[in-house]
Amino acid sequence: MTSDSSSYSAATSSPLLQVRDLRTSFNTPDGKITAVSGVSFDVHSGETIGLVGESGCGKSVSALSIMRLVPNPPGEIENGEVLFEGMDLLKLSEKEMQGVRGAGIGMIFQEPMSSLNPVLTIGRQITEPLEVHLGLKGAAAENRAAELLEMVGIADSRRRLQDHPHLMSGGQRQRVMIAIALSCEPKLLIADEATTALDVTIQAQILELMKNLTSQLGTALLIITHNLGIIARYADRLNVMYAGKIRESGTAEDVYLNPGHPYTVGLLNSVPRLDRPSSDRLDPIEGEIPDPANLPSGCAFRPRCRWATEQCAVSEPILEQVEDRQMVACFESKAVADSVEKVLP
């Protein structure tokens, strides 16, 4: 489970996925909302990347933009590049893009019940991508589907292929989703809040399964979640998003142990943790997430920030490297990092 540093320090190889200056907006009755505004990050082959943030920060819209699944209208990918194996997904035709979905990039969503078709058998839903992407038919497809079900830990797989989704529990459905997503051995798996709706013991099962399978198959994993604990356990590197932008980005060790952005510090201080005394009072971030149609000037986190200065209201900080470590978008990042109680490993 430990992060294999070689998996991403291989700086010579170009990244599997390069997201560059991605900007996605939605037209709403309240005006135009820029849900993702200039997001850039890389995913290298075989590594696990976390995208973390609270509701409305733009993490899911980022994933949907990568997959080109943003409904248009009202949504629109306005700008940017999504380079997957060097090819810009935003320039592909819809038909070409369908070849990438499933075969190149697999995706798992939060609600397995609404992602599975209720009137088709599990078997049909697993064999479909096998037919479309790999040209497998009949018994060959059926055999492969049974193998896949076994791989995700569903016993009696032959018989279960005949079942419809409603006969399965939430955890089993999510296992089926993983089987479908990995059926064509994609290079990248995107898991968008994939375990959020599950009970904690089932959540642990699914996460371990996902991590084990992706490392066996050499699949890169992009985990999107609001749960800081999940990212800490599974991700090599993470990006912290707030109001449509990445505010901090780096290795899990650097970001968790020496956070440099006031928002990251606030998030870490907001969660009750089993590794700290329970008598500690929580130190939440003040106020609420800003209205996306009416973001504050300068740094969007400013109204909730303890370190904000006059400068923060007039100009917007960009992501910059802090002391050979992570990237932080904050004018006061040094003061923030210095003030945070150092967590010793």
Residue ranges that bind other proteins, judged by CB under 8 A: 1-3, 54-55, 169, 171-172, 199-205, 208, 226-233, 252-253, 256-257, 266-275, 278, 281-285, 288-289, 343, 345
Nearest-approach distance from CB 275 to other proteins, in angstroms: 5
* CB nearer other proteins, residue 12 or residue 279: 279
Residue type, 288: E
* CB nearer other proteins, residue 138 or residue 345: 345
Helix axes 170-182, 138-151, angle to 10 degrees: 130
Nearest-approach distance from CB 230 to other proteins, in angstroms: 5
Stated length of the chain: 345
Nearest-approach distance from CB 81 to other proteins, in angstroms: 30
* CB nearer other proteins, residue 96 or residue 156: 156
Nearest-approach distance from CB 288 to other proteins, in angstroms: 5
* CB nearer other proteins, residue 130 or residue 228: 228
Nearest-approach distance from CB 268 to other proteins, in angstroms: 6
* CB nearer other proteins, residue 3 or residue 40: 3
